Amino acid sequence: MVKKMNNKGKRNTQKKQIQNFEYARKLRGKNVKIFLRNGEVLDAEVTGVSNYEIIVKVENRNLLIFKHAIDYIEFQP
């Protein structure tokens, strides 16, 4: 993977991380299936999204999931 360098020689990875999960903000209030890297699957409603976490509601429990723990998210409109 080639990472772009800005004019000061620093890696420009923060912008890329934000773009990768920008679609997650659009899922707020929607029911989704979240496939975690440990093999678990959560049927959840997305209630909040930040740069590094997603807050979901699963069976009347609020869970904070770090984005690095997510394999992928499935959403069917």
Structural domain boundaries in the chain? 28-74
Kindly give the residue spans of alpha helices, DSSP state H, lying in the chain.
13-20, 22-26
* CATH number of the structural domain 28-74: 2.30.30.100
**What are the φ/ψ torsions at residue 5 (nearest 5 degrees)?**
-110, 140
pTM for the full predicted model:
0.70
Report helix, strand and coil shares of the chain as percent, to nearest 5: 20, 45, 35
Neighbours of 56 (CB within 10 A): 23
Over its length of 77 residues, how does the chain's per-residue pLDDT go in tens digits?
Answer: 455 555 555 555 555 555 556 777 888 999 999 999 999 999 999 999 988 899 999 999 999 999 899 999 998 77
In degrees, rounded to 5, the angle at the alpha carbon of residue 47 between the alpha carbons of residues 43 and 51 is 105
Give, in order, the Cα–Cα distances in Å from 51 to each of 32, 40, 54, 62.
Answer: 19, 22, 8, 18
